[in-house]
Structure 1
Amino acid sequence: MRIFVIAGEASGDKLGGALMAGLSELAPGIEWRGVGGEEMSGQGLDSLFPMEELSVMGLMEVLPKYRHLKRRISETAEAVVALAPDALITIDSPDFCLRVARLAKEKRPDLKVIHYVAPSVWAWRPGRAAKMAQVVDHVLALLPFEPPYMEAAGMSCDFVGHPVVAEPRADQADAATFRETHMIGEDQPLALCLPGSRRGEVKRLGPRFDEALMQLRDREPGLRVVLPTVRGVAPMVREMTARWPVAPIVVENTEDKRAAFAAADIALAASGTVSLELAANRVPMVIAYDANFISWHVISRMLKIDTVTLVNLVSDTRVIPEFLGPECKPRAISAKMLELLEDDDSRSEQFAVMEEVMQRLGEGGEPPGLRAARSVLEFIGRV
């Protein structure tokens, strides 16, 4: 069996690696071609070119590389056609992946195209599903409520579980070691500060998150703060937080991050997948987010939902408090965080919802990579 698989960024590479491992377990001897990173290379993929060439975001970043990216799209599509695979699997990165799929399918109309990660049409721009259905036959969805949206647009779709349920987590011994290492007492409240992973988000939200935490510290003098970050913005985060009245503990490596999540009592986080990571680690949270005035005005008019927090959406509740756009004010955020620290009922309500969300996302069941692999094989008729 021949499979062509494409991922364009780190998160997709991680999904791709787990999917390839699952496929190799269920159907050994697959011939792999495509584009991917370290995780997929570890499963036997010799990438056509470095995946990092595709990891660009935003108009100003893409424009200088437009011709090069267009050439890579053409080269990749030609490689798909030449291989004549049993399936083309594209993982997220729709701007690149779906263009490749379209070109390849023009020359091989019978090509089976599977896309991993459904577009969030339930939140905004619902027309994306119909456009995707022009080249995609089958979708692997991360969220349990997504299949009906894809099926309505004309594609088959399986919910295969969210990768967060398979992520390793630190235990209580790791949490205790983390507190001891950073001289945080057992009874001292520990807050996670998570203002995002992109420079623009950190620059915009960091000062407001700091102010909210300072106000919380006025009521909880023993409060300690940990700010997990990623390599790309770590220098900026360290420079920015060095000017904060009380600098947080900045952690960058994966083990320290996991331990910090296990040790935390509460979190203040930007909206995004991080809410699911917090839920997986059973950390009570407050979500806050803002964009510049024009962007927020556009986004708020396009949104089809009344909450942006995935924990709320998956659980069909509104238990996780949000402070978005004009409501992203430090005083209101700190007041809600204080309530969440002191009110056992509020914490218990969040814990109950987190348990439900993790079960709905597949916790305790077959790993998402294996479920995705089974869906692929069933779709292409190999099981």
Structure 2
Amino acid sequence: MATRVRFKNLAEAERLAKRKLPRAVWLAIKAGNEQGWTLRENLRAYDELGFSPTIFDRPTSFDLTTTILGVDIDFPVVVSPVGAQAIHPDGEAGMARAAARAGTAMGLSSWAADGVEEVVRANPKTFFQLYWVGTRDQIEARVEAARAAGAAALIVTLDWSHTPRRDWGVPPAPPSRLDLRTMLELAPEALSRPVWFSGYLRRGRIPELKVPNLFGPGGRVPYFGEAWAEFEATPPPTWADVKWLRELWGGPFMVKGVNTIRDAKLCVDLGADAISLSNHGGNNIDGSPSPLRYLPDVLDAVGDQLDIMIDGGVRRGSDVVKALALGAKAVFAGRACLYGLAVAGEDGGHAALTILKNGIRETMFGIGRSSVHDLGRHDLMVLNRDFFVPPAG
């Protein structure tokens, strides 16, 4: 029996998710870095763009379809590769099924609680996201596992700077092992939301806090804390490392975390098929502007050589239309999908995606556009004359 979804918009889903989740879990998915300036900026940037609605010759049919990384999707929203979606027993596999039902692709994080094989079975349109963790041999083994599972594309994320500081405090880090002492330490958080915790008990699936896609030598699956320690100890990749990774994969390839024209041009040079402009959802360097502000300049510099996606702050279908009008091929939606997943699992994730899809169609009706491919800067009104921020390089 399908779960009854109790929200009709994503703001309501956010409120319900906050009530349902333990405080530490909520802060882990909601909060940004340091003072949260960039987290708020990602939302503010969309609020500083408007539309000019039309009343004549409104469309009666809509084409929302597009192609990204060689995969056809029904509308230009892809589930962002957000880690640790074990906020609900359905996890990443449930979110992947939700995306498949909605007709779109699933981004699967290296830090996921579900393995790539299970997620690809749930949704063949899965893009596997990779961090540079460990040795080249370890990274190659993970790439080959994604290939063997049937992942449709590879995303490498390069913008994380290991600065998880928050003015309001940082939630407890996931453990390096799950022994009796650790379980006793985590118990108060779990028991603070008995309905949430009982959902896991009914499924017989207590979160182990392991990361199967970051397996080590011999296939050993580490706990989150162990993998994090290895991540911090791994030297950041060079351009040559990413070039090697691109050649190793050989298929559709995206670099995520681009913020400058220089880096975008370097991605073209290494043969990337797509880039995603991102400030890591406000969780990287606080003070970074929304990618929406410099999307047009990056598009003008490299947009005829690869596809450009964007993420950060997408909460409504109208936000998606704004990003597309400025030149994005599609957007990643992260927190919006997590809120739905937290409230109602797979059904909640599907509801969140459906709300975004309907919002795109409704906005396009209002501005008189029948196809996402017809959207352009002429469809927007800039409400703040200082909106655009030239990127470096």
Provide the TM-score with structure 2 as the length reference. Answer: 0.27
Structure with bigger RCO (C-alpha 8 Å, 6+ apart) = 2
More helix by share: 1
Higher CA-based Rg: 1
